[in-house]
Chains A and B, each alone.
Chain A
Amino acid sequence: MDKIQSPIQFVVLAGGTGSRFDTLSSDIPKPFLPVANKPLLQYVFEFLCKSNVPKALVVTHSGLQQRIHKIAEKLSIEIDITTVSPDLGTADVLREIASKIDRDFVVISGDLITNVPLHEIADIHRVSGSAMVMLLNEENEENSKKIRKDKLVSKHFVGLDKDRVAMFLSSFDSGKSVKLRKPFLEKCSEFELYSNMTDGHLYFFKHWVLRLIEKKKKSISSIQGDLVPLLVKAQFNPKIAKRLSKYSQEEQYPNFKGFSSLEEEVGTENQQFNIKCIAYKTPRDLLCMRVNTFNSYLRANFTLINGNPFFSREAYRYKTVYMHKGFKIQEGDEIENSLLGKELTISGTKNVINSVIGENCTIGENVKIENSIIMNNVKIQDGCQIIDTVIMNSVILEENCRLTQCTVRINQTVEKDTNTKNYIFGEESFY
């Protein structure tokens, strides 16, 4: 029996510099930042494995290839890695790999943590014949609490006409207000405008979009910033649609224009060119998080402490605490809602609430840890209080420290009796 190649190819972009949280990403490269004691890239690979994807193309910086191979060997997925310089935008990256892509393709960013059923989005892509399908997530007010100052992140105004993306504006371009014109509204049957939607950076594209990117080198350099607004505008603007029609009307099979002449839809204008962009909203029960700012990193950790059955975990569970063998909880300990790594030793009564602790840590007596993230090989001596802080690898905290809303970088030692708030140990702050 002849096997036919699957018609969809996957591209994972793991080359981000993490420019929006300098402190963390300058020590540890962003794809290996531990979220709930697992490197970030592993979440993307697990997601692809569970949706039965056999192969993926990965794009990174040089020097990270071996570690990525290690992560992928544990899971049953084949990987083809290419290295790229860190200056390029996301669309420029696609231009460099263009020779390897010969079908409809999917672009996933390496900092995405989701639960979403991939086959449903693929079905939408197949049935509708749309140029692009994108993943959107509606944010609640609970999730948007902020503990740290974030660098500027662009917000998007998203207008949806049932499934269709009618408008996709970034707040940089439009400011705080949005203009809606009457003839534009007349073309949509139902129009809903959202300001709390985040883009999941998971896109299904048709093959002709690659041709578009290849030819327009100057004007398209990032997917989210340039490509997506272009395609969205082309749905309603006949001039732009004409320009794109060169690419969109190529024939995949000779003398066969597709089944679109047989499909009958109510309410479609511009039937000649027929470019569509469709959005898939994540259902309320499921996750969709991007880890590209400090606050989103903290939020990702805290939501994943409580175990998501979609992602694997090697720990044992006792009520709300996940821990490994050899760790015992006694009476008088206050441990809630936390993730404890391997080979942990805490002496005395334990007081750990809402936090993540990595491997090989030794913690002394009378230590109180709340709402904080501690990575591997950390030594904390007696009497410390750690609240809302992030402590990175191989740090030593000496006695009686009190830290709130701080970050401690790699290989630092914090001296005795320091009592600080909102400080970054190990570097002069850029803020």
Chain B
Amino acid sequence: MSHQQNKQTKTKTTEQKKSIPEHLQGMNKEERRQYYQNLHSKKGKPQKKPQKQKQQKKTETNKGGSNVPEHLKGMTKEERRKYYQKQRELSGGQQQKQQKQQKQQKNKKVQKKQAQKPKKMTKEERKKYYEQLNKQKQEQKKNWNQNYQQGKQKGQKSQDNKQKQKTQTKQKETQKKQPKTNKTQQLSDPRTRTLTSITSHISPFQQPTTKESGVEFSESVIHPLTIELSLKFSSGKIGGTTGRCIALLNLLKILIREVTVRARFSEDVVKMLNRNLDYLIKHRRFSYTMFSVIRTVKEWVSRVDSLEVKEAKIKICSQIDEFLRKHIYDAEEEITEIAWKKIKPGDVILVYANSRVIEKILKKAHQNEISFRVVVVDSRPMNEGKKLLKKLDNYGIKCSFCELNAISYIIKEVTKVFIGVAVILSNGSAVGRIGTAIVAMIAKRSRVPVIVCCPSFKLSKKVQLDSLVSNEHGDPKKVLTTKNSKSVKIQNLPSDMDVICLLWDVTPIKFISLVITEYGLLPPTSMQVLIREFKDF
């Protein structure tokens, strides 16, 4: 203290001579100090300056002045020690409670709430409370009208306030939700609809048009026949696997005939083929047989470089003709010759959807004067059974018709089931039009033999355990509409709902009893042998 006083005196000695008022020049320091103190105490002013001095004294007494927290500054060391001991003794929750209580005592709002809480009452107080309530109710009954209208006005005000709040919240919500609603709108548009997770790996259905590809009326690199074929494939006019193969092969013949070769034959032809086939694939995916056919034709093209252009073209066209004859037309004839003998008089034969081979079998059996009748089963989306029905009717065969939902009733009358197929896999199961698996399953359960007829070029080395692994989407409108009922529009469906329309399915080997190829009658377990031994391509 003495040091500080000396410091203060040093600073003041320099300034003292300048700034001392006149009426105090005669006095010493101590006298001046007492004078000023008397002044302040007499007038009764708030004692700020002495308080400051007090605080300065306290900070001067405590050495660790700057590090003390605010709520503990008023205490001395010993008091602080006791405070911290208390906190160590208590657990963490109780510390927080104590802190909360201390804060609450400062807050005025909390004090109000505590005052509003119901206090515990004794019996007498409760009696008085309820007496007062009854009095109020009796008064309300007398003055109900006035109270009603008062309540109305209050209610309207509160409702107005609520509506304002609602609209405000709605505006905020819509501002937040707008990106989400766009997704739902995208879902409802059938073309951009993202399908469910099971079928999401299958590309969605595209309407058949030419505008998307940009090839319409101008000169192009793509042959007009490919454009025609692409529309026919995608619209379903040329439908079955053998039909599509035949159309493809004819197309390839014409394309190869009309190519102008500048450099090497194989390169130019392969480029030209790739352009046209890329265009075809966009509109509808190829089946397995079509891929294998294209592969073989490209192999032939690559082996023909040694010859001249004209001879090469002739050679390839003749090879394609031979393929058609050997694997498709002759094979179908041999199958019919083997298979029609399996039909015995009095048989009732069940047929599902359309197949070229089966139509020929039934025609031949009818020509050889066997009395039998046919049940044609049909289903959406493709409704191909009606085409078969019309043809069989023209040949003079007795037919009846039903849809897939009635098959469990019809199967009681049936003696044999003939099925056409798209691909036979190496594990013996068959990929066919959607619904064949159901037909085969029900036939197996009713102990009716299931006979699959297919030429050998439909055999493949692939294996597929599941119908969903590779499949194709069809037009969803065909699933939603039927002629007699009102159609459900895709736009009217709720946004969470998707329409799945698959075209192929796999019938497992246990439902098939016999496979007829041009090599003869075989059980389905020996398909692997056929592929290994007899397949050329």
**Stretch with Cβ within 8 A of B (4 or more), from A118-126, A205-213, A389-397:** A118-126
Chain A hits for B211, CB < 8 A: 117, 119
Q: Which of A258-266, A304-312, A369-377 contacts B (4 or more CB under 8 A)?
A: A258-266
Q: Is B210 at the interface (CB under 8 A from chain A)?
A: yes
B interface residue numbers (CB < 8 A to A):
208-211, 214, 216-224, 227-229, 231-232, 235, 237-239, 243, 246-247, 250, 253-254, 260, 354, 386-387, 390
A120 to B211, CA, bound (A): 8
Q: Are A266 and B219 in contact (CB under 8 A)?
A: no
13 contacts between A and B (CB under 8 A): A4-B219, A6-B220, A10-B217, A53-B218, A117-B211, A119-B210, A123-B209, A123-B210, A127-B235, A256-B254, A259-B229, A259-B238, A264-B387
Residues on the A chain within 8 Å of B219, using CB: 3-6, 54
- Contact residues, A159-211 vs B (CB, 8 A): none
Contact A127 B232 (CB under 8 A): yes
| Chain A residue nearest to B235 in the complex (CB) | A127
Q: Does A430 contact B (CB under 8 A)?
A: no
Shortest CB-to-CB span from B435 to chain A, Å, is 18
CA distance A8 to B232 in the complex (A): 18
Residues of chain A with a CB closer than 8 A to B243's CB: 262
Complex Cα spacing A52 to B250, Å: 30
> CB-CB < 8 A to B247: which residues of A?
259, 262
Knowing A253-B254, A263-B237, A264-B354 touch, does A2 contact B217 (C-beta < 8 A)? no
Q: Are B237 and A53 in contact (CB under 8 A)?
A: no
The reply on A1 being an interface residue by CB < 8 A is yes
Once bound together, how far apart are the Cα atoms of A123 and B254, in whole Å? 21
Chain A's closest residue to B244 (CB) is A262
B487 to chain A, nearest CB (A): 16
A332 at the interface (CB under 8 A from B): no
Residue of B nearest to A254 (CB): B257
Contact of B237 among A4, A127, A253 (CB under 8 A): A127
**CB-contact partner of B224 in A6, A51, A263, under 8 A:** A6
**Total A-B pairs in contact (CB under 8 Å)?**
84
* Chain B neighbourhood of A117, CB < 8 A: 211
- Provide the main secondary structure of the chain A interface: loop
Which B residues touch A123, using CB under 8 A? 208-210, 231
Given contacts A126-B228, A127-B237, contact A3 B210 (CB under 8 A): no
Cα–Cα, bound, A3→B387 (Å): 39
Contact of A54 with B218 in the complex, beta carbons under 8 Å: yes
The answer to whether the Cβ of A7 comes within 8 Å of any Cβ in the partner chain is yes
By Cβ-Cβ distance, the 8 closest A-B pairs, closest first, are: A7-B224, A3-B219, A119-B211, A127-B231, A262-B243, A126-B228, A53-B217, A264-B387
B228 touches A120 (CB 8 A): no
Q: Beyond the given A127-B235, A256-B250, could you list 18 further A-B residue pairs with CB under 8 A, ordered by the A residue number?
A: A1-B221, A7-B224, A8-B217, A51-B216, A52-B217, A53-B218, A54-B219, A120-B209, A122-B217, A123-B210, A123-B231, A126-B231, A127-B232, A127-B237, A264-B239, A264-B387, A266-B386, A266-B387
How many angstroms between the C-alpha atoms of A263 and B77 in the bound complex? Answer: 105
In the complex, how many angstroms separate the beta carbon of B426 from the nearest chain A beta carbon?
Answer: 29
A1-24: contact bitstring with B at CB < 8 Å (1 yes, 0 no)? Answer: 111111110100000000000000
A4 is contacted by which of B217, B220, B354 (Cβ under 8 Å)?
B220
List chain B residues, Cβ under 8 A from A262.
238, 243, 246-247
Report A-chain residues with C-beta under 8 Å of the C-beta of B246: 262
A120-157: which have CB < 8 Å to B?
Answer: 120, 122-123, 126-127
Q: Is the CB of A4 within 8 A of B231?
A: no
Residues from 94 to 132 in A contacting B, C-beta threshold 8 Å: 117-120, 122-123, 126-127
Residue among A5, A262, A263 with most chain B CB within 10 A? A262
Give the distance to chain B from A301, nearest Cβ to Cβ, in Å. 30
User: Are A52 and B239 in touch, CB under 8 angstroms?
Assistant: no
**In the complex, residue of chain B having the shortest beta-carbon distance to the beta carbon of A6:** B217
The residue in chain A whose Cβ has the minimal distance to the Cβ of B275 is A1
CA of A264 to CA of B476 in the docked complex: distance in angstroms?
Answer: 22
Within the complex, the shortest CB–CB distance from B349 to chain A, in Å, comes to: 21
Residues of B within 8 A of A8 (CB): 217
* Structural contact, B238 and A119, CB atoms closer than 8 A: no
Give the residues in chain A near B260, CB-CB below 8 Å.
2
* Interface residue ranges of A36-83 to B (CB < 8 Å): 51-54
**Nearest chain A CB to B378 CB, angstrom units:** 12
Return chain B residues, CB-CB under 8 Å to A263. Answer: 232, 237-238
Closest-by-CB residue of B relative to A259 is B247
Known contacts being A126-B231, A262-B238, A264-B354, is A3 close to B208, with CB within 8 Å? Answer: no
User: In the complex, which residues of chain A have a beta carbon less than 8 angstroms from the beta carbon of B239?
Assistant: 264
Report which of A3, A52, A54, A266 forms a contact with B390, defined as CB distance below 8 A.
Answer: A266
Q: Are A4 and B223 in contact (CB under 8 A)?
A: yes
Q: Which residues on the B side are within 8 Å of A256 (C-beta)?
A: 250, 253-254
Minimum CB–CB distance from B320 to chain A (whole Å) comes to: 12
Note all chain B residues with C-beta closer than 8 A to A2. 221, 260
Find out whether the CB atom of A4 lies under 8 angstroms from the CB atom of B224. Answer: yes
Smallest Cβ distance from B301 to chain A, in angstroms?
A: 17
- Min Cβ gap A6→B in Å is 5
Instruction: Give CA–CA (A4, B250) in the complex, Å.
Output: 19
Q: Quote the shortest CB–CB distance from B305 to chain A (angstroms).
A: 20
CB distance from A201 to the nearest CB of B (A): 19
Tell me the minimal C-beta distance from B489 to chain A in angstroms. 16
Set B220, B232, B235, B386: member contacting A3, Cβ < 8 A? B220
Closest to B228 in A: A126
Determine the chain B residues whose CB is within 8 A of the CB of A5 once the complex forms: 219
Distance in Å from the Cβ of A299 to the closest Cβ of chain B?
Answer: 30
Give complex CA distance A118, B253 in Å.
31
Chain B's closest residue to A127 (CB) is B231
Contacts of A266 in B (CB 8 A): 386-387, 390
CB distance from A149 to the nearest CB of B (A): 41
CA A119 to CA B214, docked complex, whole Å: 10
How close is B385's CB to chain A, nearest CB, in angstroms?
11
Known contacts A253-B254, A259-B250, A264-B354; decide if A126 and B217 are in contact (CB<8 Å): no
Please name all residues of chain A whose beta carbon is closer than 8 Å to the beta carbon of B387 when the two chains form the complex: 264-266
Instruction: With a 10 A CB-CB cut-off, give which of B208, B211, B238, B246 has the most chain A CB atoms.
Output: B211
A122 touches B210 (CB 8 A): yes
Which residues of chain A are within 8 angstroms of B217 by Cβ–Cβ distance?
Answer: 6, 8, 10, 51-54, 118, 122
